[in-house]
Amino acid sequence: MFRNAELSSLEEENAEMFRNLCHTNLKTWSPVKYPIEALKAEIEAVKQRSAAMSLRSKTRVVPARVNKAKYQLSSLEEENAEMFRNLCHTNLNTWSPVKYPIEALKAKYEAFKQGSAAISLRSKTHVVLACVNKANSELYSHQMKILKVDNHIGVAIAGHGCVLSWYMRYECINYNYTYKSVLPVDRLVVQLTNKAQVCTQRSWKRPYDAGLLVAGLDGLDKPLAHLYYNCPSGNYFEHQAFAIGSRSLPAKTYLERKVNNFAASSRKDLIKNALIAIRESLLGEKLRSFVCTIAVVGVGEPFNILGQKAVQKLIDEIVREEGCTF
């Protein structure tokens, strides 16, 4: 039985001291006034957890549990999470805790969405890459967003993907030197995917802030055109037509309307559709040859970037056919 007498001031202080220890040390029990304080605390903790129940009949027992959402963060935890969230964007070795476990990956997705619009579409024999030449100022020259990887492979980049393009070139050169043949497009895309995926699961690495449209030709006897989209998460998808980057939604909408016609389209028709898609992404701005870059790879045609005169000639043809101006 416990004592019913009033405690002295010294006993009160000792009891309060051991009561506090009880919550931090599993081997400490509070004497005198709080003999089972730890047990009471655990009972209260159980009451605060998700509700659980069970029903039984003569033949069955049915358990049930309410899934409870995670606890709300305190103001201090919110401040700490926000602090580490900001560090996450500037420090390669810092990951955001508690509320932002994949903030770095989300940030990289947003980064390449703000890059120049890049568009690609393919038929059975050709793939066309197109992008908007974007410069930060009239005094700057635009950065090339369509790059040659090999004679049968090219890539369009939204974001900062120069490192990835160098890696792809090295892999093609290494494969050609080792096996005396060209590297298959699908194999290169898988290698690129594995490289990007590792950066999403290592604490000392960061996801690449670039989306890539990889265009290439596979097969020696019966060459077939391929178009792949690689994203920062390490996933890849094969498409008939696709658009990425800033203001790419209008271009994507146009491609969705015309996608059923691309498989049987000629090289010239593919380029014209790419130019119209670029026009849609400009949102009213006039399209000229210096505003965009067009590249083609196909059967009997190695990867090449078209000159401004050839592009302007095709733009003029579209103007005459539609009876409007860009």
* pLDDT, tens only, 134-184: 777 777 778 889 999 999 999 999 888 889 999 999 999 999 999 999 999
Contacts 24+ apart (CB under 8 A), 253-260: 253/280, 254/280, 255/119, 255/121
Give me the numbers of helices (H) and strands (E) for the chain, helices first please. 9, 12
Spatial CA neighbour of 145 closest among 295, 13, 311, 12: 295
Q: Which domain holds residue 103?
A: 80-108
The pLDDT of residue 142: 80
- 311 shares a domain with 165: yes
How many other C-beta atoms are found inside a 10 Å radius of the C-beta of residue 281?
Answer: 26
* 191: nearest Cα among 173, 207, 211, 168: 168
CATH number for the domain spanning 221: value is 3.60.20.10
Four-point Cα dihedral 69, 70, 72, 77, nearest 10: -160
CB 99, CB 202: distance < 8 Å: no
pLDDT digits 0-9 by tens, 84-127: 555 555 554 555 544 444 566 666 666 667 778 999 999 999 99
4 located within any domain: no
Assigned token pair, 259:
């996608």
At 100, list the tokens.
């932002």
Q: Are residues 150 and 178 in the same domain?
A: yes
18-56 pLDDT per residue, tens: 555 555 554 555 554 455 565 666 667 666 666 676 777
Place of tokens 């101006």: 325
Over residues 292-313, the mean pLDDT reads 95
Collapsing DSSP to helix, strand or coil, 310 comes out as helix
C-alpha to C-alpha distance for 63 and 294, rounded to whole angstroms: 63
What phi and psi values does residue 83 have, to the nearest 5 degrees?
Answer: -65, -50
In this structure, are 180 and 88 located in the same domain? no
Number of separate domains in the chain: 3
The pLDDT tens digits for 90-99 are 554 555 544 4
